[in-house]
Structure 1
Amino acid sequence: MTTDVTIVVATRNRRDQLLDLLPRHTAPVIVVDNGSDDGTPAAVTAAFPGIRVVELGRNAGAGAARNVGVALAETPFVAFADDDSYWAPGSLERAGELLRRHPRTALLTGQVLVGRQERLDPVSAGMAQAPIGTAPDAPGPTVLGFLACAVVLRRAAYRQVGGFAERLGTYGEEALLAMDLAAAGWNLAYTPELVAHHLPTPSGRDPGARRRVEARNRLLTAALRRPAGVVRAVAAQAWRDPDGRAGLRDAARQAGWVLRHRRRLPADVEAALTALSRVEPAPAAPVPAGAGAPG
């Protein structure tokens, strides 16, 4: 078991799957519970007395839960896992080695294998193409986004930029953090030798509600960091879908917060994001209805 990485697991109402996967983790674990009402905290404590369990008492969102876990971690590096994911043996030890060897790298994102069939997630396949190249002092192709269940971060860099924006809650919260790390001068790299297994299952959550939140968060993220033209394009895309329109209305209610926290990205980061936007996105990986991030 590695001792310089802490795994932070955000969870909500997935007790049985969490209990099934916790034995597969190969580093100390902090479980942060987002107001579960299915007995998750007590069950984890009873089954795994060595695991620290933090009860938020409400659904604060995955980003907020991860922020709490990172604040409590005492190791230099932190890995995230969802309650339906785990890291392959050896991945976290290797991640620690790479982060020590590459001190300007804040974040490593590994490849994601989905389901029992271990299908490569299309997001991982897209990252491997390296459309914006590889920094000279980075261990892999540069990325400006990630899947939260497949990253290992330098804790100091995460805290430097403030972690996840808790207003974004769950779904799409990763994009703003990636932008802020890059804007602070850190490298973010895709390293396929690190492997995260994702085992999504139906959860009964409302897919329309998820699309609404995703639309809201895409617009808020763009409005916080991107040029006006990008914000208009994001809004226009969301307007085509009823759930997207609802998300736009939700975002409009956050206008005051956006104006207080808006700051443009450095020119090189904006140019890289523009280059990425010209690459045709890979199709989404098929997942069961209602599956997704905790929260």
Structure 2
Amino acid sequence: MDIEDERVTVVVASRDRRDELLASLPAHRARVILVDNGSTDGSADAVAATFPEVRVIRLPRNVGAVARTIGARAATTPFVAFADDDSWWAPGSLHDAADVLADHPRLGLVCAKILVGSEERTDPVSEEMAASPLPQEVSVPGSALLGFVACATMVRRSAFLASGGFDPVVRFPGEEERLALDLAAGGWAMSYVQDVVVHHHPSPSRQPPGARQHAMARAATLTALMRLPWRDAVGRIRQVAAQSPNHRSGVVRGLCEAPAALRRRRPVPAEVAAMRRLLVR
């Protein structure tokens, strides 16, 4: 693999997607750490045999997004770019994102524009980020964020780890929200930079929509309990539950796991809660 920028490590977390990994890993132009989430399809062995330059960390069980935190801890570069087994950073984008972080020390992360599939459609989430209503500091490029998409994000490793990385309560999916709140609480800015690009070719091995709605509602419930002021938390949970039966079941699942979330409860400062309310409106 060619090294595009010595300041960057790409961390890939994967489980049971051997074919996708073998196809996407050659596209990474950086040092790569693969954190295997307890795969049973021979993913780790196949990568170790085919790409000996990739560092493979084998976990005995699936820990969800915490695998990315494990990979970031193992990295030694100042910046860590996350990728999924079905995504990769476009040529030049790792270098460009690293330059943005290096030139703006208040930035905790940069989120790239996501192009989906061989037709390279702009992901609707990217369009939403580009239109962010949050006030942007003149000294920070791009659109101001209070959220991101993990597989299209490069983090300042020190800020990411100081903010706790991805946690074992939410796990996956929906892991980004709590981390974004903690980064903002720590004084870190986050930006969407549309000149930086990530390609995403969604794997056919994915959760069905109903299961994903359930999982995202669970994550939203747990994040609300951990970080939002009580009034905001109750409003958020009610809003999520009202969306569909799948969402309601996810909220119930999250409430069943509330003790773990409440043990980690640390409401964000008022100014961060106000930023979130602006986004909700």
Same fold (TM over 0.5): yes
Unaligned runs of 5+ in 1: 279-295
* 1:251 lines up with 2:235 in the alignment: no
Return the alpha-carbon distance in structure 1 between the equivalents of residues 102 and 131 of structure 2. Answer: 25
User: 1:10 is matched by which residue type in structure 2?
Assistant: A
* 1:48 lines up with 2:84 in the alignment: no
Verify the 8 A CA contact 1:135 1:141 in the aligned structure 2: no
2:26 pairs with one of 5, 14, 23: 23
* Aligned equivalent of 1:123: 125
* 1:177 lines up with 2:175 in the alignment: no
Q: Name whichever of 186-195 and 226-235 sits farther off.
A: 226-235
Deviation at 1:255, TM superposition (A): 2.3
RMSD (Å), alpha carbons? 1.3
Q: How many residues align?
A: 277
Unaligned runs of 5+ in 2: none
* Aligned equivalent of 2:226: 224
* Aligned equivalent of 1:92: 94
* 1:274 lines up with 2:277 in the alignment: yes
User: 1:96 is matched by which residue type in structure 2?
Assistant: A
Return the alpha-carbon distance in structure 1 between the equivalents of residues 37 and 99 of structure 2. Answer: 32
Return the alpha-carbon distance in structure 2 between the equivalents of residues 217 and 125 of structure 1. Answer: 23
User: 2:41 is matched by which residue type in structure 1?
Assistant: D
Q: Name whichever of 197-206 and 120-129 sits farther off.
A: 197-206
Verify the 8 A CA contact 1:106 1:154 in the aligned structure 2: yes
Verify the 8 A CA contact 2:169 2:260 in the aligned structure 1: no
Return the alpha-carbon distance in structure 2 between the equivalents of residues 112 and 149 of structure 1. Answer: 9
Deviation at 1:206, TM superposition (A): 4.0
* 1:210 lines up with 2:212 in the alignment: yes
Secondary structure in structure 1 of the residue aligned to 2:139: coil
Verify the 8 A CA contact 1:104 1:137 in the aligned structure 2: no
* Aligned equivalent of 2:9: 6
Deviation at 1:220, TM superposition (A): 1.0
Following superposition of structure 1 onto structure 2, how do residues 159-170 of structure 1 map, counting pairs within 5 Å?
A: 159-170=161-172
User: 2:247 is matched by which residue type in structure 1?
Assistant: G
Verify the 8 A CA contact 1:227 1:264 in the aligned structure 2: yes
Return the alpha-carbon distance in structure 2 between the equivalents of residues 130 and 169 of structure 1. Answer: 26
Q: Normalization by structure 2: what TM-score?
A: 0.95
Return the alpha-carbon distance in structure 1 between the equivalents of residues 132 and 208 of structure 2. Answer: 34
Following superposition of structure 1 onto structure 2, how do residues 100-111 of structure 1 map, counting pairs within 5 Å?
A: 100-111=102-113
User: 2:165 is matched by which residue type in structure 1?
Assistant: G
Q: Normalization by structure 1: what TM-score?
A: 0.90
Structure 1 stretches of at least 4 aligned residues deviating more than 6 Å after TM superposition? none
Return the alpha-carbon distance in structure 2 between the equivalents of residues 8 and 118 of structure 1. Answer: 23
Return the alpha-carbon distance in structure 1 between the equivalents of residues 161 and 169 of structure 2. Answer: 17
Give the fraction of aligned pairs with identical amino acids, expressed as a percent.
Answer: 48
Deviation at 1:266, TM superposition (A): 1.6
